[in-house]
Amino acid sequence: MATTPKLTTTISSSPSLQTTLCRKLPISIHLPSSSLRPRLTLLSNHRYNPSRRFSLRSQNDNVADSDLRYDFDLFTVGAGSGGVRASRFATSFGASAAVCELPFSTISSDTAGGVGGTCVLRGCVPKKLLVYASKYTHEFEDSHGFGWKYDTDPSHDWTTLIANKNAELQRLTGIYKNILNNANVKLIEGRGKVGLIIVHHASMYYLEEYGFLSLVCVQVIDPHTVDVDGRIYTTRNILIAVGGRPFIPDIPGREFAIDSDAALDLPSKPKKIAIVGGGYIALEFAGIFNGLSSEVHVFIRQKKVLRGFDEDVRDFVGEQMSLRGIEFHTEESPEAIIKSGDGSFSLKTSKGTVDGFSHVMFATGRKPNTKNLGLENVGVKLAKNGAIEVDEYSRTSVPSIWAVGDVTDRINLTPVALMEGGALAKTLFQNEPTKPDHRAVPCAVFSQPPIGTVGLTEEQAIEQYGDIDVFTSNFKPLKATLSGLPDRVFMKLIVCANTDKVLGVHMCGEDSPEIIQGFGVAVKAGLTKADFDATVGVHPTAAEEFVTMRTPTRKIRKGSSEMGVPYFISGERQVLRLKQLQGSREGCKIRLDLHHWSFLTRRTISIKSQRFYQWRCHKAHNHGAKLFDRVTYSTCRPDSQESLY
């Protein structure tokens, strides 16, 4: 039989009484007055005193979790990719599981969601369907070079596309429901809230040391319960897998903006759209609407799109999308959306105002959907952005509560959520503690042209390995030779110079996402450049370029002389690095026969165009050993090493 919980008391100036449970506690536990200290005496007649609050904290170190009975071994809040995977794996391992989810809707809200989650209903799947639709315009242009002629220009019906898309989403959410049913996972519709507040009615008590006290009720918050719209379920473990939602910054006129949810379900196609954001969601929608003949303007705060991706890929995709008619407004921050009398919108930015938009879309990121879940009440620790903090096994700060997927803000990709959900089920129910492996995760951007990438960027590789060899190829694909369109393909391999291990594979061009999946296996397996070279290519394909690149475009070696003299390596595209540059040598002369420099650095550097070149970092005294990240130039090597001094 469970022993009486240990109770402590505090007095403060409030008439309310609250109790917080800090350990596993049977929800039906009786809280006798004899457990309380200081001693309480039950009174039939009392005098109400509103100036004091009696707070109770329950703790029981003697009740084993195995002695308690629960409705389920696992209760999952959120039926997205990660939640469904964890739940059905749990039942396959012999556990009992339930999952709760909001009613279906194509646009998420506090009261609407749907089985399948973001990816299936308002992310990967519907977006990819719209990408397919938008690519036909380019295909029609391509076809002319192959002899195709059309009596009239093809037209597009947006209403048909959206109706067919929504029908497919209904079919998919039905499939997910069947998956749960076939796995014996109980599906409960409604909004789940963690940590039931159990109310125990109490009479009025006399507190001898402090005088009269009116005790109305005792509240116990239990981290083993989930409240789904008033229906209470107990569970040994709780999994939070609620994902995230689009975020629109708080600027004047934000009520006129749409997010990615709404953009996938618009009643009509935009005529002219402003897309604010430079991430993958912004680029994907820019390609969609551009392909469907909308006028597209993309506003980004930085100089380049896709922060965090490889620098060469960022440059290439921006150039290619510009050639297709998308206008990029760089280094502009949104300040307000203004609605005109004719119903159009103007976007005011830090550089001016652009008028005449039918739609203004914000793709400025997503935030974990952790509001109003009761997590703070049970002690789950959250990051500043609302993400649930978890350990390497996906456990939160509360031992009985776990979290996977975008709500943890680790790697926000559907396959990663699937991996995390499967690993969690093994950890909990197969006696096989499993850490999700977030290394070398392939990803794709379904921009036009699309991007596929796996492993380290060049910048990350330099930081982690120092000496690397970089192989690149930029070519016109076979298809474009007849179409006459300016399409090109960019490919890049990053190799550790010391071990020959392939550290990163990057591609931008047609079929990049399909191609990168196979090379993701190679990078995950730790294959070397020699392994790539020994592989016979499939001809004629673009993918064969990855196994036929033999000569490095550039070699990067992490090193310098004691005084910070640059270290040069021969190659078509040179890289020099400064390990340190003391104040007395911050103006360093280099003798080179060239007339153009291209700097890839985060620091402010100026240069004179003359035979003796000089650069100067204006904050030289503050950066110590990491004065310059790297400086790249496209020339041959200098005349001699002595010319550097």
Q: Which residues are catalytic?
A: 539
Q: Provide the H-helix boundaries in 525-590.
A: 529-533
One-letter identity of residue 476: K
Residue 354: count of CB within 10 angstroms of its CB: 19
Question: How far is it, in rounded angstroms, from Cα 216 to Cα 18?
Answer: 10
Enumerate residues 6+ apart whose C-beta is below 8 A from 133: 156, 161, 288, 291, 292
Q: Which residues contact 473 (CB under 8 A, 6 or more apart)?
A: 489, 490, 491, 492, 545, 549
Backbone angles phi, psi at 321, to 5 degrees: -70, -35
CA distance 78 to 242: 5
Q: What is the 3-state secondary structure (H, E, C) of 349-411?
A: ECCEEEEEECEEEECCCEEECCCCCCHHHHCCCECCCCCECCCCCCECCCCCEEECHHHHCCC
Q: At 13, is the secondary structure helix, strand, or coil?
A: coil
Compute CA distances 173 → 130, 145, 158, 201, 519, whole Å: 18, 41, 23, 43, 31
Helix and strand counts by DSSP (H, E) for the chain:
13, 33
Angle between helices 158-182 and 124-144 (to 10 degrees): 140
How deeply is 552 buried, as exposed, middle or buried, from its count of CB atoms within 10 A (0-12, 13-18, 19+)? Answer: buried
Determine how many CB atoms are found less than 10 A away from the CB of residue 616. Answer: 14
Helix locations, 193-271, DSSP H: 260-263
Report yes or no: 78 and 90 within 8 Å, Cβ to Cβ. Answer: no
Show the tokens assigned to 159. 């209403």
Compute the distance between CA of residue 125 and CA of residue 121 in angstroms, rounded to an integer: 7
CB 206 within 8 A of CB 212: yes
Distance CA 135, CA 487 (A): 13
**Alpha-carbon gap, residue 221 to 193, rounded angstroms:** 12
Which residue, among 249, 243, 244, 248, has the nearest Cα to 263 in the 3D structure? 248
